[in-house]
Amino acid sequence: MIAKVEPLTPARALRGPFDYLLAGALEDVGVGSMLVVPFGRRRLLGVVVDVTERSELPPERLAEPLAALEADVPQSLVRLGLWVAREYVSTPARGLALVLPPGTGTGAARPLRRRRSLRASMTAAGEAALAVGGRAATADVVVDGAPADGAPPRARLGPRQRAALDALVGGPVGAAALARRAGCDHSTLRSLERRGLLSLEPAAEPARRPHVERVGARAGSVALTEAQRRAAETVEACLEGHPGRPLLLHGVTGSGKTEVYLRAVEAALRRGRSAIVLVPEIALTPQTAGRFLERFGDAVAVMHSRLSRRERYDEWWRMRRGEARVCVGPRSAVFAPFSDLGLIVVDEEHDSSYKQEGDPRYDARTVAERRAAEEGALLLAGSATPRPESMLRYERISLPGRVDGRRLPPVEIVGMLGVNGAFHERTRQALDEVRRRGEKAIVLLNRRGWSNFLSCRGCGRVWECPNCDVTLVLHRFAGEVACHHCGHREPIPVACGDCGSVSVARHGTGTEQLERELDALVAPLPVFRLDSDVAAAAGVGAVLRRFDAASAGVLVGTQMVAKGHDFPAVTLGVVLDADATLRFPDFRAEERTFALVAQLAGRSGRGRLGGRVIVQALDPDARALRHAAAHDADGFLAGELARRETLSYPPHGHLVRVVCSSTEPGPEIAAAEAVRELVAGARVPVLGPAPLFRRQGRHRAQLLIRSGDREAAIAAVSHAVGAVAGDRAHGAATFAVDVDPQ
């Protein structure tokens, strides 16, 4: 037999599949097997994408594989990986890397192997040490104090050692996970073991289940509302028959969508099928993942973004072996290695994090559609603010009211023209009320940092990034100005480099500054900030937990605060500069703005006390804002679909974006021109090249392909980019293709 093997190499030029002769022990490898194959003088890792009777090569030119790895990927996933490669104009190796066991990658790093892991558990001596000596030590120094006068041995513990023992209080933990949680390394654990404070033993099973934070309102199994029951019945009927169109669960915020997902997963499991639950980002919405764990226990594999490579690998195997039947995770969970898939849930289906930013730039929602269709599984997408795409193409089920029958909070839009400062008078009053009554509020401003930009009062110079054509943002707490596009940072300027003036003006308000102003406004209530700066330092979960635990306070931050949190005590939601997003030239600007305001509104009034929302905007009449204030998703979507139809924008047409870039100005334009010629030559309409702002030191030019014929557009772009990228004359340019750009 002949195996057709796709080599897992990052090199774009090396395209398989290549033929290998299967013989001896390797005779029965099948599609999805991973092989080590000889390739010229090298050895490469490859995936079997097909098995055939004969090859076009003469037998003497056929090599045999050197070895087969243990991993084998379900055949359907191999097909899916190759489909992603084609659909998103990437390479087969990159497409396949998505479906392989984590860490097997593009063959760049050494692949992981299954191994028996170590498990750490507390000993009695460890417990005693924690109780006695734990608190006294301050430095990370180990002093093995000999028992002086017959008193219990005083084991002095450094902070990391104490953290390690603390983490064992709840029960045994995998050694790797323990080291990570305690911020120590393996040698620390070994030294604790030598001192008899913990024991390390080989675990029969891979590491313990990854830890998921639980924040916010919680509930066990509940009696469904009438609307939930009808929704669950529809889902179940679809699971029973042959699943047809995907379902769209359109339920207002607080309508109990998660409970419907739980029932859907239950129904799939009952039929002996596995289920995937896609969520935007687990760190941001730990509640949802927590509910699945609570309901299904060890049958759940959680693909948390902070899992180690090893933990991901272990979870992959639990699914592959059928020990885990439910996969909860962000976009990559759509590739969970189930061979009996029955259901894919896409929670908060409007969330743009479902689109991958690097190559392959796949959209997990589209991949989910494809996978569900290919494997006869049901796709169930849900949101309070669905995409126009889903509205048009999916079959809708509605949850029109909140579970407790409470009304959605009233939303007031206030105009900011001529208003000085960050807050409108109405907002100040509302925040003051929250302060007086000791309640909770969430304030959203989609701009992190202290000020947007700095300028010199002497000569007007504006501080810009040396690598990108954008201004630097002031981060006062970090003592620096930073570029939000490339990460460049430098100390806060004290004087102008051009004219020497020491008078530097700060413009605009970001979340840092807002936090300070709120501190003054609502004192003594605590103010919690949540944006990616804080997330990187303290962790999102920690901030959400503190806000949840406080009896009153204000949570301020970027769009992170508008995700699906469920904090019943929040009585006020505020959006600042709500129409800022509308000022971007982007056909999704309205959709984004609507979703952001509606989602933030959804965080307010989930409890007994009710709630309200204030939206500050320069143009209070903006369509997206008016619909959001009226909680009118249907009206908004109808208008949006009509507008898009006129303009042939998605879902009434397909977009592909090609960005060419180069370090010197010039080659990027030339390359874009060349691609355009070829695409236009294939009779596919193309706009551009249009220059984009320089980013990360690269000059960029963009082409936009807008077509009713998706396949033709993708084929034309794929061919054109391949040809131009392979042309030495354009060697200075690189290419990024984005199908369905967000």
What minimum distance in Å lies between the beta carbon of 348 and ligand ADP? 8
Q: Which is nearer to ligand ADP, 288 or 446 (CB)?
A: 288
Q: Which is nearer to ligand ADP, 401 or 449 (CB)?
A: 401
Tokens 């997990």 belong to 364
Q: Which of 486, 641, 680, 715 binds Zn ion (CB under 5 A)?
A: 486
> Among 458, 598, 637, 443, which Cα is nearest to 531's?
443
Q: How far is the CB of 106 from ligand ADP (least distance, A)?
A: 37
Shortest reach from residue 400's CB to ligand ADP, in Å: 11
Query: Edge-to-edge strand order for the sheet containing 686-695?
Result: 686-695, 698-707, 654-662, 734-739
Report the length, in residues, of the chain. Answer: 742
Task: Please state the closest distance from residue 226 (CB atom) to ligand ADP, in A.
Answer: 9
Q: With respect to ligand ADP, which residue has the nearer C-beta, 114 or 218?
A: 218
Q: Contact positions toward ligand ADP, by CB under 6 A?
A: 217, 219, 222-225, 228, 251, 253-259, 403, 564, 566
Q: Does 606 bind Zn ion (CB under 5 A)?
A: no
485 binds, among ligand ADP, Zn ion, none (CB under 5 to 8 A by kind): Zn ion
Which lies closer to Zn ion via its Cβ, residue 475 or residue 654? 475
> CA-to-CA distance for 342 and 323, rounded, in angstroms?
16
Site for Zn ion in 445-464 (CB under 5 A): 456, 458-459, 461
Query: Closest distance between Zn ion and the C-beta of residue 734, in Å?
Result: 18
483 binds Zn ion (CB under 5 A): yes
Residue 287 or 616: which CB sits closer to ligand ADP?
287
In the complex, minimum distance from the CB of residue 315 to ligand ADP, in angstroms, rounded to a whole number: 25
**Residue 702 C-beta: closest distance to Zn ion, Å:** 18
Whole-number Å distance between alpha carbons of 375 and 276: 13
The binder of 593, among Zn ion, ligand ADP, none, by C-beta within 5 to 8 A per type, is none
Rounded Cα distance, 413 and 406, in Å: 21
Residue 181 near residue 173 (C-beta atoms within 8 A): yes
- In the bound state with Zn ion, the residue whose beta carbon lies nearer, of 455 and 648, is 455
Name the residue nearer to ligand ADP (CB basis): 223 or 536. Answer: 223
473 binds Zn ion, rule: CB under 5 A: no
Report the partner that residue 465 touches, choosing among ligand ADP, Zn ion, none (CB closer than 5 to 8 A by kind).
Zn ion
281 touches 170 (CB < 8 A): no
Task: Record the tokens describing residue 145, joined without a space.
Answer: 């104090």
The reply to whether omega before 17 is within 30° of 0 (cis) is yes
The site partner of 483 among ligand ADP, Zn ion, none (C-beta below 5 to 8 Å per kind) is Zn ion
Cα separation, 482 vs 65, in Å, equals: 51
Radius of gyration (C-alpha) of the chain in whole angstroms? 28
Residue with smaller CB distance to ligand ADP, 225 or 509? 225
| β-pair type (411-415, 480-482) | unpaired
| Residue 654 Cβ vs ligand ADP, minimum distance, rounded to whole Å | 30
Q: Is 502 in the site for Zn ion (CB under 5 A)?
A: no
Binding partner of residue 180 among Zn ion, ligand ADP, none, CB cut-off 5 to 8 Å per kind: none
Q: Which DSSP letter does residue 609 get? A: T
Asked whether position 692 contacts Zn ion by CB under 5 A, the answer is: no
Q: Nearest 5 degrees, angle CA 193-CA 195-CA 199?
A: 25
Alpha helices in 653-696 (DSSP H): 667-681
Partner residues linked to 471 by β-bridges: 464
Q: How far apart are the first and last CA of the chain?
A: 44
> Which among 200, 209, 204, 213 has a CA at the least distance from the CA of 177?
209
Place of tokens 């413009």: 507
* SS3 (DSSP) at 77: helix
Residue 496 is a binding residue for Zn ion (CB under 5 A):
yes
82-90, 139-147, 387-395, 484-492 -> range binding Zn ion (CB under 5 A): 484-492
Look at residue 175 and give its three-state secondary structure.
helix
Between CA 211 and CA 170 the distance in angstroms is 12
* Partner from Zn ion, ligand ADP, none binding residue 516, C-beta < 5-8 Å depending on class: none
Residue 461 interface partner, choices ligand ADP, Zn ion, none, CB cut-off 5-8 Å depending on type? Zn ion
Residue span binding Zn ion (CB under 5 A) among the ranges 171-179, 367-375, 467-475, 574-582 = 467-475
Q: Which lies closer to Zn ion via its Cβ, residue 305 or residue 503? A: 503
CA atoms of 253 and 573, how far apart (whole Å): 13
Give min distance, CB of 417 to Zn ion, in A: 30
Which of ligand ADP, Zn ion, none has residue 222 at its interface (CB below 5 to 8 Å by kind)? ligand ADP
Instruction: Return the number of the residue (224 or 538) whose C-beta is nearest ligand ADP.
Output: 224
Cα dihedral angle (707, 713, 714, 720), rounded to 10 degrees?
Answer: -140
Cα(656)–Cα(740) distance, integer angstroms: 6
Please give the full DSSP string across 17-38, using - where no structure is assigned: -EEEE--GGGTT--TTEEEEEE
The site for Zn ion, by CB under 5 A, has a size of 15
Which ranges of 206-342 would DSSP assign to H, the alpha helix? Answer: 226-240, 257-270, 286-296, 309-320
By the rule CB under 5 A, 484 interacts with Zn ion: no
In the complex with Zn ion, the residue whose CB is nearer, 70 or 357, is 357
Of 258 and 581, the one with the shorter C-beta distance to ligand ADP is 258
CA within 13 Å, CB half, 459: 11
662 interface partner picked from ligand ADP, Zn ion, none, CB below 5 to 8 A per type: none
Residue 158 or 254 having the CB closest to ligand ADP = 254
Residue 317 CA to residue 337 CA, distance in Å, equals 8
Please state, as a whole number, how many other Cβ atoms lie within 10 Å of the Cβ of residue 526. 15
Q: Which of 15, 190, 426, 485 binds Zn ion (CB under 5 A)?
A: 485
Nearer to Zn ion among residue 489 and residue 516 (C-beta): 489
Torsion-angle region of 357 (φ positive above 0: left; ψ -120 to 50: alpha; else: beta): alpha
Does residue 410 bind Zn ion (CB under 5 A)?
no
Give me the least distance between CB of 355 and Zn ion, in Å please. 22
465 near Zn ion (CB under 5 A): yes
**275 sits in which H/E element:** strand 274-278
Q: How far is the CB of 240 from Zn ion (least distance, A)?
A: 54
Q: Which residues are at the interface with Zn ion (CB under 5 A)?
A: 456, 458-459, 461, 465, 467-468, 483, 485-486, 488, 496, 498-499, 501
